[in-house]
Structure 1
Amino acid sequence: MDFERLGEAYGYRRTLDHIEAQANAEIEKGNRAIHRLNCNVLALQAQRQALLDALREAAPGHPLLARTGRVYADGRRELAYEVPYVERFNREARGNGTVLIEEAMAPADRAEADYRAILAEPIADRGWFRQRWYWRGQEYATAGQARRAREEAAEAARDGALAA
């Protein structure tokens, strides 16, 4: 038996175990931070909803509660009070180089943005013995079929956004 190599392998294994333990500790620390931030986001959303409910009760029909006619990507309608908040936040975010808040768009503009986003999704071509094309996880026999499926989905998204 080669005890020298066994000892070397054992040493490498101990080192790898130590590195893995350190990495797992860092991952756990990161997960706790993400959980804490998610809890903060939920608390801020609850606070925002409570403020809106209080404003609705105090002043029903107040102009700040009027809908602007613009729509967010998730389908939620924009309220007038959100306009200055989003503008100021995005101005600060641009100055600091951080993430911007999504701005609401007119329904026609939102439909066009959804349409263009779907058309921008790539079609993957794979295969070694025979060529196959994939779009959104679905396999197609030809690239034309994949493009047509993508175009149909884009048209459906545009029609759905305009109908809403």
Structure 2
Amino acid sequence: MTSTLPEEEKARLTRNEAAQRRETAKRGLPAVPVSVEGLWLIQRGCCGCDECRCEVPLVVGKIVIAHRHFRGGVGSPGHMPHNVQLWNEDCNKREAPLEVSAKAKGERMAVDLTRTKADPKKSKWQKPKVSPLSKDHWKYSKHKWPKRRMGT
């Protein structure tokens, strides 16, 4: 079986795959090379998204390298052969907002063990150096009690 993927398109997708692999590796996630031509053959030249399910043919010039599970979140499988697929550009645009939302929800409750305490000297709010009850405080005012009248 020979590939019907044009050489220019194969070269473009190979460059994109390498760039995504480098970006994924910089995030500290697993990243291995994936053959674009192999993906084309496995998917039979069709879009692999969940809506198309390899029934809609890929449009040359509008093919993107997509990941079934997003690469940015905690527990992501990264750029691995079982996570990479070829999708049509429109399918990728449809799924991108959902991915961003899911990633944000996942990160909202994640625990960051690398975070350190904030430096109190860099804080905008400064604790007063003098107690507000002290006479030396700039807002201090002595309370004036009303005078009592003695039995008239």
Using structure 1 for the length normalisation, give the TM-score. 0.23
In terms of fraction of residues, the more strand-rich structure is 1
| Structure showing greater relative contact order (alpha-carbon pairs closer than 8 Å, 6 or more residues apart) | 2
Using structure 2 for the length normalisation, give the TM-score. 0.25
In terms of fraction of residues, the more helix-rich structure is 1
**Higher Rg of the two aligned structures:** 2
